[in-house]
Amino acid sequence: MAAVPGRIPTRVVPSAKLSRRTPRKIRESFESLLDGGIALRVAGTAKSRPRRLLRLGYEPQFLLELFGSRFFLSRAHQNDDIRFFVAYLLQTSATSGRSEIYARLFYKDVSLVWRSASHFVRSENENWIGKGDVATVVRDGEEIEESAEETTDLPFEVQSALEAALRRSELIENDERAVALVLRRGGDDRIRAYEDFLAPRRRAAAVRGNRINGGRSIARFSRANDPRSLVFAKGFEPYFRGGVLESSRMRSRLYGGTVRRFRVISANEKVQYLFFAGGRHVWLGHPQATTTELSSYGVRTVDVHADERLSIPGYEYHFLDDAEDPPEFVTQIPEGFAGPPSEIDPSRADASPWNDLLPVVREFRKRVLGQA
C-alpha cells in the first residue's frame, strides 16, 4: 500500500542508549560537522556567534540517536530552578537533504519528565521557562489560555539516556548564562511558543491520519471530580499483560530516594505511557504517540489529547500565593484530593488521594508492581 502524503509513520522501538564513544571523540565528531559547513542555529543571544557556546563550556560530551536525529549533549548544568543540558540536534531534511544543527535546552521538570524548553521569560516580575504550545481551557466558567506543557515533553525513548547522562556528569556547576544564550526571550505575557516550535505541529495536525483518536481525547472522566470514573477510548488503554516495554530507575530527593519508571504501550500500539513508582507514590506522565517525526526541538510533532487529571505528578502545586494582592490560592490538584504538603517543597501537596483511586493506577500496582 502506498504511503499517504504527510502521514507520519509509527514505530515501537527500544529506548535510545548513550553512545560508547569517548567525550573527546564526540566533540571531534561534532566539530567536524561544523567545519564541514553544517550550520549551527541558535535562538538566544549566541545567535550571531553560535560557536561561542562551545568556547563557554557547552561542548558536547554525550551522544544518542533516535529516528534519524542525533542528540549531542553537553555535561549537565543547573541554576536555581532547573537541571539541564545544552543540546545540539542534528537533523537532515527529508525533502531538501540539507542538514542543520539546532541548539536547544533540555531540562528536568519537577514531574521527573525531561523537556525541551521553547523559550524563556525573565524580568522584574516574571521568571519562567516556556512550555510550548497553549490550550484553551475553561476555569470557573471563563475561557483562558494556558501552557500545554506536555508539548515540550521529550520522547519517552530518550528519557533513560538523559538520566544516564545526568549521572555521568561529574560536577554539576551552577550556571545562570545558558538559558539566555540558547533560548529566545519573550515578553512577560508570552505564554505561547514561537513559530519555529509551532509550525511543525500545525503541519502534522493538518493531516487527518496523524490525529490520534481522530483528535479526540483518549481518556476522560464520566463523573465530575471522581477519579474512579476514568475511561479510556477502546484500544488506548495501557497493555499491562504484555506491553511493559522496559523499566529503569532514578533518584529523587522530592520522592525520598529511588523512583522506578516503566514505559508501557497501549493495546493498539498507537500511544505509550510512562509510569512512575517512588516509595508510596504512583503516577503517570501525559501519554505520547509512537510517531517517528521529531521537530528541531527534539519533541514529537503529533499530540495525544487526554484529560490533564490523568497525569498529575505525585506532588503537585497546592499553596497560598501571598505575592498576589490579595493573596491567591493556587492548586493543580482536584478539589478535595490534596494530601499533606511535601517536606522538601511545601508549595506542593501529595496528590496520592486522587492518583491512588484511578483505576489505571490500581491496575498498574496489581499487574506490574505485584501489590494487592
Alpha helices in the chain (DSSP H): 23-35, 52-55, 156-168, 178-182, 195-205, 352-355, 359-367
Same domain for 188 and 220, yes or no, is: no
Residue 36's pLDDT is what?
Answer: 96
Percent of the chain past pLDDT 70, that is, above it, reads 99
Same domain for 104 and 36, yes or no, is: yes
Same domain for 218 and 340, yes or no, is: yes
Q: Work out the pLDDT band at 163, boundaries 50, 70, 90.
A: very high
364: which 3 cell numbers?
A: 498498574
pTM of the model: 0.95
**Whether the predicted pLDDT of 28 surpasses 60:** yes
Region 21-44 average pLDDT: 97
**Whether the predicted pLDDT of 317 surpasses 80:** yes
**Whether the predicted pLDDT of 2 surpasses 60:** no
Same domain for 227 and 109, yes or no, is: no
Residue 253's pLDDT is what?
Answer: 93
Same domain for 320 and 235, yes or no, is: yes
Tens-digit pLDDT profile for residues 249-278: 999 999 999 999 999 999 999 999 999 999
**Whether the predicted pLDDT of 350 surpasses 70:** yes
Q: Say if strands 127-129 and 120-122 run parallel, antiparallel, or are unpaired.
A: antiparallel
Same domain for 107 and 54, yes or no, is: yes
Average pLDDT taken over every residue of the chain: 94
Q: Work out the pLDDT band at 3, boundaries 50, 70, 90.
A: low
Residue 297 lies in a domain: yes
Residue 135's pLDDT is what?
Answer: 87
Region 289-306 average pLDDT: 97
Region 244-253 average pLDDT: 95
Residue 322's pLDDT is what?
Answer: 81
Same domain for 35 and 171, yes or no, is: yes
Residue 260 lies in a domain: yes
Same domain for 175 and 295, yes or no, is: no
Residue written as grid cell 517512588? 278
Query: Which residue range is the domain that position 117 belongs to?
Result: 23-193
Number of domains in the chain: 2
**Whether the predicted pLDDT of 4 surpasses 90:** no
Tens-digit pLDDT profile for residues 97-122: 899 999 999 999 989 999 999 999 99
Same domain for 233 and 348, yes or no, is: yes
Region 276-304 average pLDDT: 97
Region 230-248 average pLDDT: 96
Residue 208 lies in a domain: no
**Whether the predicted pLDDT of 353 surpasses 90:** yes
Tens-digit pLDDT profile for residues 193-223: 999 999 999 999 999 999 999 999 999 999 9
**Whether the predicted pLDDT of 1 surpasses 50:** no
Sequence-separated (6 or more) residues with CB below 8 Å from residue 336? 225
Among 96, 34, 29, 35, residue whose Cα is nearest residue 65: 29
Region 356-367 average pLDDT: 98
Give the phi and the psi of residue 274 in degrees, each rounded to 5: -125, 110
Among 291, 283, 224, residue whose Cα is nearest residue 252: 283
Same domain for 169 and 253, yes or no, is: no
Residue 127 lies in a domain: yes
Same domain for 143 and 228, yes or no, is: no
